[in-house]
Amino acid sequence: MTNLKGKNLISITDYSKEDYLTVLDLAEKFENNPNQPILTDKVVGSLFFEPSTRTRLSFETAANRLGARVIGFSNPSATSLQKGESLHDTIKMVSSYTDIIVMRHHKDGASRYASEVSPVPLINAGDGANQHPTQCMLDLYSIRKTQGRLDNLKIAMVGDLKYGRTVHSLVQAMSNFNAEFHFVSPASLAMPDHVKDYARNAGLQYFEYDKLEDVVPFADIIYMTRIQKERFPDQLEYEKVKNAYIMTAATLKGCKENMKVLHPLPRVNEIAMDVDTTPYAYYFQQAQNGMYVRQALIASILGYADKVK
């Protein structure tokens, strides 16, 4: 078990393999016993500079179940930012009131910068198209929970592998666990070279496909992603690929018994509703696991890991 007290979480690579396992073990305790008011003397700053229902509610519920109080905003239009206040000054002010900050921002790199300004630790809840490390942590938790291990798994990733930050982080994190990667995407949304280089430098194998059906027979995890309209500079390009991969219950015929389908949500049409009732669907439980992982992170970064039962 590593000591994460005071350790910012901005990028998934800020934490080591041992750090991941510390968080996952602690999250398991919260799954068994979610209401543990061990942070009644703490205040969590929840700064959402761009809207996010799922992540914000998950973090704030996590803080509440730990007994902490939450201050912050979910809509920057009602704050001094509208008056032109800099991110620097907002963080200086909020960090003087709080013990830890959870922040989402539309600019890439905003969380790293805020963590350098803030004297209190900061958890990145998503910075533009860059990182979303707590999503990656909950993905790891979901993989370990469904497969019983993290080592030596065949992980397929499907859809928008170019712009999808969750799949980039997952490759980085799973590179610690001898994963074999299978990337399924249209050529225009292929996994970027720097991510493939990361896997290669870790000594891992990856394979690329253009058909979802090709990976179904052997994958342990199929990680689906939404083709994100907002990431396309050219809307015509979006129209060409938006329906490239649609998973139905029939698609999964012949898959391994232990296989689980993950998705960071929200989904649009890439997973048909008939998949929800198969034993392979895990995306809703995956979202729920996010709360336990965030409880684990808040408690351990504030130095309360040893108080968790």
Residues that bind other proteins in the complex, under the rule CB under 8 A: 11, 86-88, 105-110, 112-113, 127-131, 194
The catalytically annotated residue of 132, 144, 165, 294 is 132
Catalytic residue list contains 83:
yes
Of 65 and 196, the one with the shorter C-beta distance to other proteins is: 196
- The CA angle 266-275-190, to the nearest 5 degrees, is 55
> Least distance to other proteins from the beta carbon of 229, Å?
16
Q: Which is nearer to other proteins, 111 or 286 (CB)?
A: 111
**120/137 Cα distance (integer angstroms):** 21
Q: Tell me how far, at minimum, the Cβ of 247 lies from other proteins, in Å.
A: 30
Q: Is 54 among the catalytic positions? A: yes
- Are the beta carbons of 189 and 163 closer than 8 angstroms? yes
Q: How far is CA 24 from CA 134, 287, 294, in A?
A: 11, 15, 10
- 231 is an active site residue: no
Q: Does residue 146 have an active-site annotation?
A: no
Closest distance to other proteins from the beta carbon of 114 (Å): 9
Distance, CA of 10 to CA of 129 (rounded, Å): 13
Least Å from the CB of residue 146 to other proteins? 29
Phi and psi angles of residue 101, each rounded to the nearest 5 degrees, phi first: -120, 135
Query: What is the spatial distance between Cα 157 and Cα 64, in angstroms, rounded to a whole number?
Result: 34
Q: Which of 104, 162, 182, 196 is catalytic?
A: 104
Q: How far is the CB of 294 from other proteins (least distance, A)?
A: 22
CA 42 remoteness from chain centre? 24
105 vs 263, beta carbon nearer other proteins = 105
Catalytic residue among 40, 83, 277, 309: 83
Between 12 and 297, whose beta carbon lies closer to other proteins?
12
Identify the active-site residue in 22, 55, 134, 251. Answer: 55
Residue 104 designated active-site: yes
Q: Which residues contact 48 (CB under 8 A, 6 or more apart)?
A: 56, 72, 73, 74, 75, 76, 103, 104, 125
Polymer length in residues for the chain: 309
Closer by beta carbon to other proteins, 199 or else 261: 199
Question: How far lies 221's CA from each of 190, 242, 254, 288, 294, in Å?
Answer: 19, 22, 14, 18, 22
Positions annotated as catalytic residues are 54-55, 83, 104, 132
